[in-house]
Structure 1
Amino acid sequence: MKRTTLLHAELSRVIAGMGHGDLLVIGDAGLPIPAGPLRIDLAVMRGVPRFADVLQAVLSELQVERAVIAQEACTPDGAGMPPWCHPLQPLVPEAVPHAQFKELCLSAKAMVRTGECTPYMNVLLYAGVAF
């Protein structure tokens, strides 16, 4: 059995195979998943697993260079990041319109569907290098 945080075999395999600049999407239960990327469906029921828990597990194994979220997830003035972005620090996610966010998903290696039912709780994670 693995000793690290992430135990999901398929998700762990995807992360191990990612190269610099490759894209992994973690999404809420409602984010549409296009035909191209691999679908890793973790959703069991509303709220299970939570987006925050999946993000934490992924960040324990993936070197992230850049992150993108939907502008609609930000505070009403568009300046403040939602609290669920804190695990990404020191990275500050780029915020783009939700329509553009969905277009960016087309180039993902994989999209992870959580049981999260909070609108716009989705993130694009671009792999970095650990050296």
Structure 2
Amino acid sequence: MKKHGVLNRDIAAVLARLGHTDKVVIADCGLPIPEETPCIDLSIKQGYPRFDAILEAILDDMEVESMTLANEIKEYNESLDQHIRNTYEDIPVSYQTHEELKNELKQAKAIIRTGENTPFANVILQAGVIF
């Protein structure tokens, strides 16, 4: 039995298969998910599990070289934007429109769907390398 890191077998398998520049998305419960992109649905009810709790667990177990957020988070979910930038200040953050972010979902290795129900609580994590 696994003792450390992400225990969810589907997430652990995705993380183990990632290579440099591969992408994983952590999403709120409203993000439209392309049929061809694998979805690991963790949502239990509105607001649970929270986006920030899942982001923390993934970042503890994944080497991330950059994060991409929607521009709209700055206006409609300022507290989450500030939390991400302050908590993970060593990871570069870029922004693009929400529409541009949605267009990148097909390239993700997986989308991890949370129960988060606040606006624009979505992030694309780009894998780094550990050496």
Q: Same fold (TM over 0.5)?
A: yes
| Structure 2: stretches of 5+ with no match in the other structure | none
C-alpha distance in 1, partners of 2:28/2:88?
Answer: 17
CA deviation vs aligned residue, 1:5-39 (integer Å, no higher than 9, x gap): 31111001100100001000000000110012111
4+ aligned runs moved over 3 Å, structure 1: none
- Distance across 1 between alignment mates of 2:95 and 2:31: 16
Q: Match for residue 106 of structure 1?
A: 106
Deviation at 1:71, TM superposition (A): 0.1
Give secondary structure in 2 for the equivalent of 1:60: helix
Match of 1:126, SS state, is strand
In the TM superposition, residue 75 of structure 1 has moved relative to its aligned partner by 4.2
Q: Name the residue aligned to 2:81.
A: 82
Gaps of 5+ in 1: none
Give the RMSD, CA atoms, in angstroms. Answer: 1.8
Q: Is the 8 A contact 1:24 1:124 kept in 2?
A: yes
Q: How many residues in Structure 1 have an aligned counterpart in Structure 2?
A: 129
Task: For 2:72 and 2:92, locate their aligned partners in 1 and report how far apart those are by CA, in whole Å.
Answer: 16
More off after superposition, 42-51 vs 82-91: 82-91
Q: Which residue of 2 aligns with 1:47?
A: 47
State the partner residue of 1:115.
115
TM-score after normalising by structure 1: 0.91
Q: How does 1:1-131 map to 2 (within 5 A)?
A: 1-75=1-75, 82-85=81-84, 86-131=86-131
Structure 1 vs Structure 2: percent identity of aligned residues?
A: 37
Distance across 1 between alignment mates of 2:95 and 2:33? 20
